[in-house]
Amino acid sequence: MSMVKWIQQHIAQKQLVLLLSLMVGVLSALAAYVLKLFIHLIQYLINTYLIAGEHYWWFIICPMIGIALAALFVRYVVRDDISHGITKILFAISQRKSIIKSHNMWSSIIGSGITIGFGGSVGAEAPIVLTGAAIGSNLAKLFHLDQKTMMLMIGCGAAGAIGGIFKAPIAGLVFTLEVLMMDLTMNSVAPLLISSVTASAIAYFTTGFTPMFELTTIEAFTLRRIPWYLLLGVACGFVSLYFTRGMNRLEQRFKRLKNMWVKILVGGTVLGVLIYLFPPLYGEGYDVILQLFNNDPYSGIAFSPFARFGNSMWVIITYFSMVLLLKIVASVATNGGGGVGGIFAPSLFMGALVGFLCAQLLSLVGVQVPVVNFALVGMAGLMSGVMHAPLTGIFLIAELTGGYHLLMPLMIVAVVSYLTIMLFEPHSLYAMRLAQKGELLTHNKDRSVLTLLKMDSVLETDLSTVSPDMNLGQLVKVIADSKRNIFPVVDANGELQGILLLDEVRNIMFQPRLYKRFTVAQLMNYPQVVLRHDLPMEKVMEIFEDTGAWNLPVVDEQNKYLGFVSKSKIFNSYRHVLVHFSDE
């Protein structure tokens, strides 16, 4: 702690932020490396001691074991929900003052490592992004940085995690802008770049300079193929819509299962059956992507019951179409059963399949297009659609494959996919859960500032309350001691009964002969609207605009009076927050 104080006293905050962004980049890259090692270690042990000797049944049993171990780890060790990593980051930025719990710096590594190492059909990227964001948040908290800087450190952690796990520094930067919806300013661009580049450099040092998907058979882009890339973009958009809505609905079904062991049994059984029928659903699916890039799709069928139907192109198309449709079921079964993982890998896997299938279908009708090119840009298209992040899709796939000379088709497919899904879904799978509750921070300044405002910060509690059975004489004494002209009427149980305005009793309050004739219950009115304390501020402002009111009472779930909210107080708080978060 003395070191922290010394740094605070001797290093200016701008230089401290740059130093911390470097530390966050280093730690995020190391976390990504540890997670990869952990996953590969588990896979090595399973392949060596369980599956050796052609005991292929272990491929079906191991995912359930991984789900069970991850569920037990979360339930009895972490004792907190660590699923939906990106959604948790968005929630922390919007609702928790950019505070992420310290256990997230390690818990997601263990939980996702167990899940994926044993064959869970999810990805490691979202858990490592949550890990990086938690590292940034907790470092900022250690140095007592303000909320705005903590938000920037979360972005640095996320950028570092993407750079570290994918060796993709540009994708790490644009991911924070598109998915985490942070604004790129002069003060934020340098720390984000430092974290992303530092993490990528460490990833190059630890794992080499070879891209994650090294390609040798990419064909050059030609203008005559633009119509087919447009068609692929539309296909990716609709598959992204299926991915988003299907996964959301399947997750809701799993949430109905309350017993942990029932979830493990259902999730493990569903996943095991799917893997038996469709082996490409085992694990992250990166091996299958490489097989498609190497023009070897039959390897995905070879160990399945469908191998008996041969290896004709129609069999392959039908088989991988079913794999495409069932991937979201396998992913939800993994996470819903108790596993820990993200949707990065499933979206890349499904994108490669969409591109491969579109290329094969076009070839059947006489249109020859490069299969590898289509599989590659299909990954960008699906990531763009699912995450509502076209720039992330473009640069991530370019950096993952080294396919920079295909930037034009990557842009076409990613943008068309994004525009297609935007016609049906305004928010990504990550953001829709928070958007439905009004808890999502976006690039819209007005909405973002209102999201950051909380009811507690604008609640006025200095109003004098009166009882409904008070007479006018007793009310006059309360008015004499009050500096406000609104009086909430509250019964003995603390429940709001109505409000009394000074203007409505002004003409009789100076007539003593009436003091015992009238009671507060006779003089009060019921307000136009009563606000609940858990309403988002954007909804509160809508109510003010609809009613034309300037002051409204606030109650809790039991109708207990809490205070008043005034439109002027919201405006003042709004200006304060806007100035704070716009200050460069």
pLDDT in tens, 17-49: 899 999 999 999 999 999 999 999 998 888 887
**pLDDT, position 87:** 77
Residues 284, 313, single domain; the answer is yes
8 Å CB contact between 580 and 148: yes
State yes or no: pLDDT of 403 exceeds 80.
Answer: no
Residues 53, 162, single domain; the answer is yes
Looking at every residue in the chain, the average pLDDT score rounds to 84
Q: Are strands 531-532 and 496-501 parallel, antiparallel or unpaired?
A: unpaired
State yes or no: pLDDT of 446 exceeds 50.
Answer: no
Q: Which amino acid would we find at residue 399? A: E
8 Å CB contact between 498 and 525: yes
Structure tokens at 143: 């140095």
Identify whether 217 is part of a domain.
no
State yes or no: pLDDT of 274 exceeds 90.
Answer: yes
Between 91 and 575, the more confident residue is 91
Residue 576's CATH number: 3.10.580.10
As a residue count, the chain comes to: 584
Residues 165, 286, single domain; the answer is no
Per-residue pLDDT tens for 332-385?
A: 999 999 999 988 899 999 999 999 999 999 998 888 899 889 999 999 999 999
**pLDDT, position 41:** 94
Identify whether 216 is part of a domain.
no
Beta strands (DSSP E) in 466-537 are: 486-490, 496-501, 531-532
Residues 331, 260, single domain; the answer is yes
Domain that holds residue 519: 448-582
**pLDDT, position 443:** 45
Identify whether 214 is part of a domain.
no
State yes or no: pLDDT of 444 exceeds 50.
Answer: no
- Rounded to the nearest 10°, the torsion over CA 153, 157, 163, 164 is 140
Residue 239's CATH number: 1.10.3080.10
Instruction: Kindly report the pTM of this predicted structure.
Output: 0.77
Q: How far is CA 234 from CA 321, 385, 389, 524, in A?
A: 17, 10, 15, 60
Average pLDDT over residues 131-156: 88
Residues 191, 247, single domain; the answer is no
Residues 424, 463, single domain; the answer is no
Which of residues 442, 466, 488 is at a domain's end? 442
Average pLDDT over residues 317-326: 94
Q: Which amino acid would we find at residue 295? A: N
> What pLDDT band is residue 453 in, cutting at 50, 70 and 90?
low
- The 8 Å CB, 24+ separation contacts for 500-508 are 500/466, 500/475, 500/524, 500/525, 501/525, 505/472, 505/475, 505/479, 508/472
Residues 188, 281, single domain; the answer is no
Residues 415, 534, single domain; the answer is no
Residues 553, 433, single domain; the answer is no
State yes or no: pLDDT of 563 exceeds 60.
Answer: yes
> What pLDDT band is residue 402 in, cutting at 50, 70 and 90?
confident
**pLDDT, position 435:** 55
Least confident of 309-313, 457-461, 580-584: 580-584
Identify whether 213 is part of a domain.
no
Between 511 and 281, the more confident residue is 281
Provide the number of structural domains found in the chain.
Answer: 3
Identify whether 215 is part of a domain.
no
> What pLDDT band is residue 571 in, cutting at 50, 70 and 90?
low
**pLDDT, position 523:** 82
**pLDDT, position 576:** 58
Residues 238, 129, single domain; the answer is no
> What pLDDT band is residue 570 in, cutting at 50, 70 and 90?
low
| Helix residue ranges, H only, 423-526 | 429-435, 445-452, 455-458, 472-481, 502-505, 520-523
Which of residues 412, 442, 472 is at a domain's end? 442
User: Under 8 Å CB-to-CB from 368, ≥6 apart: which residues?
Assistant: 362
Identify whether 384 is part of a domain.
yes
> What pLDDT band is residue 493 in, cutting at 50, 70 and 90?
confident
Which of residues 414, 442, 470 is at a domain's end? 442
What share of the chain has pLDDT > 70, as a percent?
Answer: 88
For 534, the enclosing helix (H) or strand (E) is none
> What pLDDT band is residue 442 in, cutting at 50, 70 and 90?
very low
Structure tokens at 102: 């310290």
For 308, the enclosing helix (H) or strand (E) is none
Average pLDDT over residues 386-393: 92
Phi, psi for residue 403 in degrees, rounded to 5: -90, 50
Residues 554, 490, single domain; the answer is yes
CB burial string 318-343: b at 16+ within 10 A, e below:
ebbeebbebbbbbbbbbbbbbbbbbb
Residues 436, 453, single domain; the answer is no
CA atoms within a 13 Å half-sphere pointing along the CA-CB vector of 550: 4
Per-residue pLDDT tens for 233-273?
A: 999 999 999 999 999 899 989 888 889 999 999 999 999 89
Q: Left, alpha or beta for 276 (phi > 0: left; psi -120 to 50: alpha)?
A: alpha
**pLDDT, position 144:** 81
Per-residue pLDDT tens for 52-81?
A: 655 567 778 889 999 999 999 999 999 888
Per-residue pLDDT tens for 520-539?
A: 788 888 777 888 877 777 77
